Amino acid sequence: MNDVFKNIYKDRIPKHVAIIMDGNGRWAKKNGFLRDIGHKKGVNSVRSAVQASVELGISILTLYAFSTENWKRPKTEINALMELLVSYLSKEISTFKKHNIQLFSIGEKHTLPNNCRKKLDHVIKETSKNSGLKLVIALSYSSKLEIINTIKNIAQKVSDKMINVDDIDDAYFSNELYTSDYPDPDLLIRTSGEHRISNFLLWQIAYTELYFSPKLWPDFNKTDFLNAIIEYQSRERRFGKTSEQIKN
């Protein structure tokens, strides 16, 4: 087991960790490879984050794998990414079963290629009875679109007199999002040295702790993930209260 584990408080493990996995293309360019090699290399970092989450007892790990904006990329890169997704899911299903991992997805799944959608649905079904780590893959995801669709759904319910306007509050709105089955992230990690959210879980991260790593995603290993958890545990989460109120 990694020695860094010794520095982690077992009673302060974040329940939900989200990751913006950024830097595959830059890693490939930096090392003289085509971009798809960077994406393939990044799969190892996914495995490391999943393994560390299982070992720590993290309940939910959400990975930002493909945004709606990513559809604007060259078709060759998109095809390579979709093929990589199918390959990853096919190879990992035995690991998911072995480690009691349950797979979920959020986003506009209907926009995915048919073979990707079928494989995703298959693995979700095959792991549905597992009760350990919930691995949530954000695919063809846009937080702005999620919020707009939620507003439309709620507006329709008001129009149909299913609910009253006064019924709408923070909790009700959260319950209508794609992430209604999960608590908001405690920690959001972004790699590659970029300091932005990139249209990811905008509503859900209102009080999430943010951790930015200078490492490109393919270089982000288990030790880096554990160091992010240690940094998270050093922070005081006040949720609008004072330090004195939290201590009391």
pLDDT, one tens digit per residue, over 211-226 is 999 999 999 999 999 9
Q: What is the pLDDT of residue 179?
A: 98
| pLDDT exceeds cutoff 60 at 30 | yes
Q: How high is the pLDDT of residue 244?
A: 77
pLDDT of 148 higher than 80: yes
Which residues touch 99 (CB under 8 Å, ≥6 apart)? Answer: 54, 132, 133
**Active-site residue numbers?**
22, 70
Domains in the chain with CATH codes: 13-142+184-235 (3.40.1180.10)
CB of 61 within 8 A of CB of 53?
yes
Cα dist from 67 to 18, 24, 91, 126, 164, whole Å = 14, 14, 23, 25, 33
Q: First CA to last CA across the chain, in angstroms?
A: 36
- pLDDT-derived band at 4, boundaries 50, 70, 90: confident
| Mean pLDDT computed over every residue of the chain | 96
Q: With cut-offs at 50, 70 and 90, classify the pLDDT of residue 210.
A: very high
Looking at residue 127, its pLDDT comes to: 98
CB atoms closer than 10 angstroms to residue 97: 14
Task: Grade residue 10 by pLDDT with cuts at 50, 70 and 90.
Answer: very high
**In the numeric block, which tokens belong to residue 114?**
């048919």
- Alpha-carbon distance of 100 to 134, in angstroms, equals 9
Mean pLDDT of 193-214: 98
- Categorize the per-residue pLDDT at 40 as very low, low, confident or very high, splitting at 50, 70 and 90: very high
User: pLDDT digit string (tens) for 45-75?
Assistant: 999 999 999 999 999 999 999 999 999 999 9
Maximum pairwise Cα distance, the chain: 59
| Residue 21 banded pLDDT, cuts 50, 70, 90 | very high
Q: Residues 49, 19: contact at Cβ < 8 Å?
A: yes
Q: What is the mean pLDDT of residues 92-111?
A: 97
CA 132 to chain CA centroid, nearest Å: 16
Residue 136 has pLDDT above 60, yes or no: yes
Its pTM surpasses 0.85: yes
For 71, list phi and psi in degrees, rounded to 5: -65, -15
Whether residue 89 is predicted with pLDDT greater than 70 in this model: the reply is yes
Report the pLDDT averaged over residues 91-115: 97
Give, for 53, the enclosing helix (H) or strand (E): helix 35-56
pLDDT, mean of residues 109-125: 96
pLDDT at 181 over 70: yes
Q: What is the pLDDT of residue 139?
A: 98
- Residue 17: pLDDT band by 50, 70, 90 thresholds? very high
Residue 1: its pLDDT value, please? Answer: 52
